[in-house]
Chain A
Amino acid sequence: MRHLLVRCALLLGLVALAACSTPDEPVEIYDPYEADNRQSHEFNRNVDSLALRPAATGYGTLVPVPVRMGVSNFSANLGIPGTIVNDLLQGSFGDAAHNSFRFVLNSTLGLGGLFDVATPGGFEERSADFGQTLAVWGAPEGAYLDVPLFGPRTERALAGNIVDIVLNPVNYVFGPEYAMVIYGAGAATVLDDRYVLGDTLDAILYESADSYALLRSLYLQNRRFELNQSGTAGPDLAFDPYEDLYGDIFEE
């Protein structure tokens, strides 16, 4: 059963990657599926306002901060082995060692990951995912997608998410009887994130002139920055408004 799952996920990931479309010329935003994306964005907005947001408000107001932090820490800690695999695949051996130390510290002194004792000890979070690994390997970003229930992704990031499911050793060490705990903690983390980001996300989703266009811009800017941070060659990210200004003068 599990082998089948692994093969399905790998296959799906590869299919998603192979489907990565590339624009003929480099563009800031490549969104050939905009019409479909806008529909699923509307769907996601409804899911948020009807279910996620109210649930997050309930969770955030009923459950005290230390408990919420503990659950989120626990969930994040379970993700670290997968991060280490990606560090290794990217050849970032320093980060692999850093994250291994972090995992050992939090799993032992941090009582199974409930407390993040590694960060104050100098082993702060250093994220890595398979979408990033693909970027390091030179795979193109692909088109922008607004995935139902999951939100903004690039095609490459989505392929990475799928592969990450089978790449995390935690999923093999713990049997299916622990799935409820692992996925439960993951779901609680989503609620906590939604609660903490409350006003910021509300402003993007419900107070902007075009929440789809805004979210797309914000996601792509932040994702490219994160990939750049980790040493991936990216496009020149900075924007120079003065070039525009003088461009006008010389055109006229």
Chain B
Amino acid sequence: MSEKSENLVEIRGLKQYFPVNTGFFRSTPLKAVDDVSFTIKRGETLGLVGESGCGKTTVGRTILHLYKPTAGEIIYDGKPIKTKDDIKEFRKKATMVFQDPYSSLNPRMTVSDIIGEPLDIHKMYDSSEKRRERIIELMGYVGLNTEHASRYAHEFSGGQRQRIGIARSLAIDPEFIVCDEPVSALDVSIQAQVINMFDELQEKLGLTYLFIAHDLLVVRHISDRIAVMYLGKMVELADAKEIYDHPQHPYSKSLLSSVPVPDPKIARANKRIVLSGDIPSPLNAPSGCPFRTRCPHATEKCAEQMPALREISPGHFAACHIL
């Protein structure tokens, strides 16, 4: 065995284009993710934020090969994932928690079948007794009452369903979990329960998370580092605290200043940078920097050339010509 690399997941030049029919016999590629590179260190939580349509969910799904990447490399634990066998091996270590706890659980399966399904697929038990024990252990991890094992998903509230979803993803004893907006469908008081559970599981099981969300306060709370995406490109990547205290990219600045702070005095004094206009359609994204149409500092250069993501201070990356 080679010694474990520090970077658990490494993404190089990832592109994910979807063909969209735009006319008779004509299709235009929708560049959902366009040339994105980043690494996720072992044991860290990387937050991925951005507005709807920026490609953050697509990044998560493409990493797990739920979509076949158009181009680019996904390197897991120092090994590129290419062949079908690689993917199968990879999926024993990497898994996903979905956004909607209502539609991501099969209504015709009992809780124990839902949680046990990954065990069946990867044949991770020798006897039905072992399978049962494992399911009970998993339900314990997420704070579910073991008496509920034979119930169906509809008998549970949103927060409990999300716990079932998390137990299912823990079944294969993963190292890496892509969490796609796991708390955005939950009520505030339940959100905190689930966020704490993610924290505790990470400590207990040594998990690495890619945490995708649009709620910036939640992401700030849970993440070690945060990446900001806009229209398929990564525009900034830095430590969670650094990016909140000193955002560099004009988009990140505006995005972070737009977050309503739950404190009346701060909220009223807060100078928001309100952007004009809407997010352009990814089908005809602007040339050069995708943000230039809404950017208050855009110059001619921004229309001609996409700025590269470069290190502007140690550990702080941004893609902008003016920096």
**B is a partner of A:** no
